[in-house]
Structures are given as C-alpha cells and as structure tokens.
Structure 1
Amino acid sequence: MTTNETTNETTDKTTNENANTPVILVLGASGKTGRRVADRLETAGAAVRRGSRSASPPFDWEDPATWPAALEGVASVYVSFYPDLAVPGAPEAVAAFTAEARRAGVRRVVLLSGRGEAEAQRAEEVIAAAGMEWTVVRASWFAQNFSEGAFLDAVNSGEVVLPVGDVREPFIDVEDIADVAVAALTEDGHHEQVYEVTGPQLLTFAEAVRAIAEASGREVAFTSVPLDAFTAYLAEAGEAPEVIEMLAYLFAEVLDGRNAYVTDGVKRAIGRPPRDFADYARTAAAKGVWK
C-alpha cells in the first residue's frame, strides 16, 4: 500500500497491563504509525501490548502460532500489516488474523489501509465482515518516507531518483494517522467509518523534495527515471524480489493519478485539518534527520 509501513527490530514490551484492564494490541509497533499509536496510548494511560517479532509475547504475521498469545486479554487491535497490504496473500492473512481475534474476544479493530489498491480494499472488506466494531484508516503516501523510510538515504545523498513524473500526491503526516487511529481505538462513534486521510495539498514528488531542500537548507535534487531502470538498480543493490515487485506495483499502478485529490478524513475523525507538508519538513529538519 502507499503507506509503506516498515519496522525496526527493537524489543517491544507490554505496558501498563493488569488482569482487570482491557489491553490494546498494536501491531507493527516498531513501524512508523504503530510506534506513534502505542506511544500515544501509553501516554494516555492505556494498557498497551506492542505487537512485533521481538516483543514478549512475540507477534509474527508469517507465524500464526504466535497470534493466540498476543491476543490473550485483548479488547482492541490496531492492524498494520507487514510488509504491505499490496502484497499477494495479505487479505487472506488479515482474514485469518481477524477470525482468531474474534475467537479471542476482541471487540474493536482499526485497520491501516492504502488508497487505490485492490488488495488493500479486499482487506478492508475482510475487516468489515469480521463481526467486530471496525474502523478503516485509508492513508495516502507517508510524508515520513522521506525522513524515516525508503527515501531517507536518497535525500541524504542529495538526489532522490524515482520512477514517477508529474503525478500529484497528497502526502499524509503519520502524526495525523496516529491521532486518527488512537481516536478510533479509544472513543465511541468511529464504528463502520472509513477515514480516507490525506494531507491538505497535492504535490509532485519533485515539489516535495524541493520543500525538504528548503526546510533543511541542503541541496537535494529530484530525478525521474523509467521504471525498468529503477527496478534494475534495486536488483543490482540486492533488494529482495518481493520488495522490488511491490514497489514496481506502487509506482506503475497506484501512482497513475487515481489518488490525485485531497480528502477530509482527518477532520472528520478528529475535528482538525491535517498537517501541511512544509510543516512536516520543517519539523523533521529541526530534528536533524537530514544530515
């Protein structure tokens, strides 16, 4: 999906749990959105179980035997699928997990989804039919891909090279995604809602890179290349075939203009407008992520 949720292998622990407190399981708790969701919930005093392969108990999407222990005593779940809902088999995995969650007594589920992706929309249908309270957070491309994810090294090298032209994307700040997800997990009134969340403006990738250059005070160029040249470069760099296939799908199919519009999902969910990309860039630059 266009959200590109990746994880860092850090040890995640359950916090604030006791026998009488309903637990919120946050999957992908080392990723861009999951980490922020878990942190916000903990700050609010919720009992949080961070779901990842390094957690105790561990959670691994590829090992269903880890799911029952991770779901024990859980009332609500934030579902962020790894590596991405765009990969083949993702909806089936989400279906198997939600069935296990319902058996475990989970009452509420919030799914991180992506815009304009057939597999992601199939996963949304699975969540809606699972027999629990559900909310979908359908996100545009993460702004944080430039500062925490796939494009960080490229920004720091001084040139971002991607197989995309003048198509415009309403990049979403993941801080907004986290705020929407926490509201859906902890408040009533979000059941059966699909919040399509975007930033407030449409930008080309070149314009986004220019905003980063201005905010960071660094020279950063953007270069558009053919898709086959991009995938060949990834292969030569040793990237996994499934990752190359996923990125090729996203750039060739999803970034075709189908998502070139902004939405009011953030405001509908939490009553305020989404953050501007320039604000994101200034905040990230102030943290020193682009060195």
Structure 2
Amino acid sequence: MTQDTKNAKDTTLVVTGATGRTGSRVARAAEAAGFRVRAASRASGFDWADRSTWADTLRGAGAAYLVHPADVGAPGTAGAVGALAHEALALGVRRLVLLSARGEEQALPAEEALRASGADWTVVRAAWFAQNFSEGPLAEELRRSGELVFPAGEVPEPFVDVRDVADVVVAALTDGERYAGRTLTVTGPRPLTFGEAVAEIAGATGRPLTYRAVPAREYGESLLGFGVPREEAAFLTEVFETLLDGRNARAEDGVRQVLGREPRDFSDFAREEAAAGTWKG
C-alpha cells in the first residue's frame, strides 16, 4: 500500500473546493476516517487561477482531492488540473483523486491530464447530484417560483447523493493500492426524469412544484440574462445538448462495488431535505 494511505491518521489530505457541495462532505468524511484535512479555498489562500498559491497549500500533504470550481470540462480546466497534479507530485503529494462527470466528453481532457501526471490517481465520475435540487440556483428557483425550468427534456438520470460521492472518494483515498489507476463511476440506484424528481420533491414538501423543459439553446440565452459570461453560457449549452441526450439514463453499481452497500435513494434525500425546510417558499 502506498505510504500516504497506510494509515489515514498519518496523512494530511488537501481538499479543494472545501466549501462546495462535494468538498465539504469529503472533508467531513475524511476527518471521520482519521485524515488530517487541510481545506483549500480562497478563504484559506488557495486559488485555482493563481499558481503561486498552490505550493503552500500542497506542501507536506500526502494526498489531495481535486474538484475544479468551474465544470471539470470547462475551457482551461485540463491545463489547471494537469499543472496542479505535476506540482503536487513535485512536492511529494502522490495520491490524487479527481471528481469528474459521468458521460461528459468535455471532461475527458482533464482526466487525461491527471493520468499523465505520474501520480497515483483515481477518477470518480459522478452522475448528476441529487443536491443540485437542494443547493444552488436550481434549488433557489424551486423555492422562489415553485417551478424548475431546465433543458433536460424527459431524459432519465440516476441522481446520486453527494454523501455517497464523498464516501467513495474517501474509500479511494484510504485504499490507494486497490483504487489507484482506476476510474470509478457512481450513480443513484434508479433513473428518474427531472419531472419525476421534482414530483417527488413536491410530494415530500406538500407544495405544488412543477418542471418545465426548454431547449438547451433557449436556456443558454436565459443564462446570459442572469449575467453568466458568454463563453461559460456557450460551454454549458454544449454540455446540456450532449450530456442530457440519454447516454446516462442507466444506473451503475459503483457505489455498491466500493462501499459494499446500495446508494441512497432520491426519495430518502427528498424527505430529509423537505423535513429540514429546504424548499419552503
């Protein structure tokens, strides 16, 4: 077993995006597993866009969880991931786990950049997060208007609970000998359309929530109206046109293979979040 994963208590783990959806949960799960967690965020002085901030964050660590603040397939992301992986390796950080997106062709260059770095790498390809409905702009839209407008049509997606993603990441970090050099795909247990997902949330909350499908390019134009930069809106439009074409409509068993249990179901997620008041108007 590699030195950094013999004993989690001997390992400092750098967690990028430590305040985000996956990073915050990876940090908690890693601490519970005995890692010494070093949060890497702008608040801590780390900035993906400023390479001069990387060394101080990475120095002395044994492993790192990499999640880019933009989509992993966004322009320039592959270069940033590759450069950080090389710097990490030069500073003695051999074990790297990258969060990627299942079925997203635009994410493949970032994955390849990690593989080419020479590190002990693992890629975790995740399905669409269940928590996208409870955190961020989609959740705010549901709370405010009671309607989710999104370019997913009636395509099913096996939404994955981010807590399962975090548990898989920590398992990959803990057992480097088993998972180094592997790509792990994690999904929820069953596919749901976005309309079905919103209906489950409506049932859990008692609110009359609805879903309205729009074309990807119409959605991209609306992003411009909300102030999203044109390059980013164009990239997201391209992603939605390809990623939501049905290629990800089946569930996969990565969670069970890694954790030895079934993934959390979307209905359980919806009930928990509804009880917490997440979608109150």
Decide: shared fold, TM above 0.5.
Answer: yes
TM-score by length of 1: 0.89
Q: Kindly indicate whether the alpha-carbon contact (under 8 Å) linking 1:24 and 1:75 is maintained by their aligned counterparts in 2.
A: yes
Q: Kindly indicate whether the alpha-carbon contact (under 8 Å) linking 1:91 and 1:119 is maintained by their aligned counterparts in 2.
A: no
Give 2:96's aligned amino acid.
Answer: V
Q: Deviations over 1:143-169 (max 9, x none)?
A: 100101230111112000112211111
Aligned to 2:21: 32
Shift in Å at residue 246 of structure 1? Answer: 3.2
Distance 1:122 1:175 in 2: 26
Q: Kindly indicate whether the alpha-carbon contact (under 8 Å) linking 1:195 and 1:268 is maintained by their aligned counterparts in 2.
A: no
Q: Kindly indicate whether the alpha-carbon contact (under 8 Å) linking 1:164 and 1:224 is maintained by their aligned counterparts in 2.
A: yes
Aligned to 1:48: 37
Tell me the number of residue pairs that the alignment of Structure 1 and Structure 2 aligns.
270
Corresponding residue to 1:173 among 161, 164, 183: 161
Corresponding residue to 1:195 among 184, 193, 199: 184
Shift in Å at residue 93 of structure 1? Answer: 1.1
Aligned to 2:125: 138
Distance 1:160 1:144 in 2: 14
Distance 2:98 2:199 in 1: 32
Distance 1:40 1:90 in 2: 26
Is residue 81 of structure 1 aligned with residue 68 of structure 2? yes
Is residue 163 of structure 1 aligned with residue 151 of structure 2? yes
Aligned to 1:6: none
Distance 1:230 1:96 in 2: 33
Shift in Å at residue 259 of structure 1? Answer: 1.2
Distance 1:236 1:41 in 2: 39
- Which is worse superposed, 207-216 or 36-45? 36-45
Give 1:183's aligned amino acid.
Answer: A
Q: Any gaps of 5 or more consecutive residues in structure 1?
A: 1-19
Corresponding residue to 2:116 among 129, 133, 137: 129
TM-score by length of 2: 0.92
**Aligned residue runs from structure 1 range 266-281, under 5 A:** 266-281=255-270
Is residue 207 of structure 1 aligned with residue 196 of structure 2? yes
Runs of 4+ in 1 over 6 A off after TM superposition: none
Q: Kindly indicate whether the alpha-carbon contact (under 8 Å) linking 1:198 and 1:266 is maintained by their aligned counterparts in 2.
A: yes
Q: Kindly indicate whether the alpha-carbon contact (under 8 Å) linking 1:22 and 1:73 is maintained by their aligned counterparts in 2.
A: no
Give 1:234's aligned amino acid.
Answer: L
Q: Kindly indicate whether the alpha-carbon contact (under 8 Å) linking 2:74 and 2:107 is maintained by their aligned counterparts in 1.
A: no
Q: Deviations over 1:105-132 (max 9, x none)?
A: 0121111001122231222222222222
Q: Any gaps of 5 or more consecutive residues in structure 2?
A: 1-8
Instruction: Please state which structure has a larger fraction of its residues in helix.
Output: 2
SS at match of 2:96: strand
Q: Kindly indicate whether the alpha-carbon contact (under 8 Å) linking 2:106 and 2:239 is maintained by their aligned counterparts in 1.
A: no
Give 2:153's aligned amino acid.
Answer: G
Shift in Å at residue 44 of structure 1? Answer: 3.3
Is residue 66 of structure 1 aligned with residue 53 of structure 2? yes
Shift in Å at residue 227 of structure 1? Answer: 2.7
Shift in Å at residue 245 of structure 1? Answer: 2.2
